[in-house]
Amino acid sequence: MPLELPLHAHAGARALVLLHERHLRRCVGTWQRAVAAEVVLPTTDDDCYASLGHLGVHILGSARHYMAWCCEKLELPHPGFSLTPPPDEIVSKASADLEHVLERWRSPLANVPPERFEDREYASAWKELFTIDSMLEHAVMHPVRHEFQLLELMGEDAALRSST
């Protein structure tokens, strides 16, 4: 389906929204394949890895958090995300939830002037400082990293590691 993304006052924001969509779609698709293959996650104290359901909630919930954080810091209206489905429901609801999250990502930043993306730093929930641009970059890389982890667990990471 063709993507309907409004023009943004800041072309960099538009690029990051598009990149986030591309990589979140790929990550969720890889996660769905991992679920179908019954991939076993490594043992860790991180609750996000308690199960593939928990990981799916983390991936889609984080996408919500990043855009909501940007809107809060820019004093924009909340994007209106629904709650992330719980781990025991995420597998059956992931595709619809993904579309909801991506739709809510497309326009909140469209009218924000370019200078607002780098004019100051804000504390994240984990106490690191981010500009709006750097948080958007973080949001793009988050699903990339999880997709890479899942590809490694499924033994499909050889192409990612090639040094061409």
pLDDT in tens, 93-118: 999 999 999 999 999 999 999 999 99
pLDDT in tens, 58-86: 999 999 999 999 999 999 999 999 999 99
Residue type, 75: E
What pLDDT does 24 receive? 98
What pLDDT does 148 receive? 95
Residue type, 16: L
Number of neighbouring beta carbons within 10 Å of residue 164: 3
Is residue 22 over pLDDT 50? yes
* C-alpha to C-alpha distance for 51 and 70, rounded to whole angstroms: 29
Q: What is the pTM of this model?
A: 0.92
Q: Name the DSSP class of 48.
A: G
What pLDDT does 1 receive? 46
The model's confidence at residue 164, banded by pLDDT at 50, 70 and 90, is very low
Q: Compute CA distances 90 → 10, 35, 37, 53, 149, whole Å.
A: 34, 11, 16, 6, 19
Topology of 11-156 in CATH?
A: Four Helix Bundle (Hemerythrin (Met), subunit A) (1.20.120)
The model's confidence at residue 2, banded by pLDDT at 50, 70 and 90, is very low
